[in-house]
Amino acid sequence: MEITIYMRQQQRNITKTILMMVARNATNTGSAPVNELQPCNEAEQLCFDDAVKRQERRGRKAPILRPSHNDEKLMFDIFRRTNGTDIVRDERIELPENSAWMSQSFQTTLIHPFPDNRNSQNNIFGGYVMRNAVEISFMTASIYTQSRPFIECIMDIAFLSPIKVHSFLKMTAHVVYTFEQFMQILTVVQVMDANTFEEVTTNTFNITFRAEQNVKEVLPSSYQETLWYINGRNKFQDFQQLKAKRNTKSLKV
């Protein structure tokens, strides 16, 4: 089931959340059928069709991030700005003014969930993971901007595997992209089994924050960080499109 939640204040939509829910049978041994929906008017049909398109996108395997031609030009430009023109020497030049290294712009924490944080499936409740991920993302953005940022958008949260009660949660929030007052935070959730100490990545969060003033430009210093930078820029562009679409609908109303 896809559930859409709208939060309204003073007759204006301020938040929209889309959740995917899975029905389980009474013994929690398999899935349970749910009643089908029948749209009754044009507006409901549009909502239904949009949900079908999102479900089709979810069913596709996520492609490995491969830089486009424009991305490669951007990568080379960043390399020139941070390593100069000598590709033989592996030496960084001084940071451009009002910027910071991505490798130094992160915060991490380790959390031990307790049984009271478990859900009906005897796994750690997803809301508990989301709350802690948002909190460390907020703290990372606050430390980076040295101010109080505001959450603008949270997108594409996927739970790749259940989190058992006897687990440790390792959360790391990285500043991966900045533009004027905005910054894109990538928060990675890794689960460490308390018995085997094996680590598995279970979640990634992409959160857009807005500061009261322009923020420092974050710059990558490795190939992996550059891919994060490109992905963060893509997520920010998706946010801009959502914001423009929302403003267009508001004008029509």
Q: Summarize the confidence of residues 71-90 as an average pLDDT.
A: 70
Question: Are 36 and 135 contained in the same domain?
Answer: no
pLDDT per residue as tens digits for the range 141-168: 999 999 899 999 888 787 788 788 888 8
**Which residue is it, tokens 């960084």?**
92
Q: For residue 82, give both structure tokens.
A: 């941070």
CB atoms within 10 A of CB 253: 7
Helix (H) or strand (E) holding 184: strand 182-193
Distance from the first to the final alpha carbon of the chain: 28
13-37 per-residue burial string, b: 16 or more CB within 10 A, e: under 16? eeeeeeeeeeeeeeeeeeeeeeeee
Domain that holds residue 55: 1-61
pLDDT per residue as tens digits for the range 87-112: 555 555 667 788 888 888 999 999 88
The answer as to whether 220 is a domain residue is yes
Q: Summarize the confidence of residues 4-27 as an average pLDDT.
A: 83
The answer as to whether 215 is a domain residue is yes
| pLDDT value at 252 more than 50 | no
Question: Helix, strand, coil proportions of the chain in percent (round to 5)?
Answer: 35, 30, 35
Question: Are 23 and 126 contained in the same domain?
Answer: no
The sign of the dihedral angle between the CA atoms of 35, 40, 43, 46 is positive
Query: For position 91, what pLDDT does the model report?
Result: 58
Question: Are 245 and 157 contained in the same domain?
Answer: yes
Cβ neighbors of 28 (< 8 A, separation 6 or more) are 120, 121
Asked if residues 18 and 4 have their Cβ atoms less than 8 Å apart, the reply is yes
Count of domains in the chain? Answer: 2
Which is more confident, 103 or 253? Answer: 103
Question: Are 91 and 184 contained in the same domain?
Answer: yes
The answer as to whether 5 is a domain residue is yes
Asked if residues 25 and 34 have their Cβ atoms less than 8 Å apart, the reply is no
Q: Summarize the confidence of residues 9-20 as an average pLDDT.
A: 82
CATH number of the domain bearing residue 107: 3.10.129.10
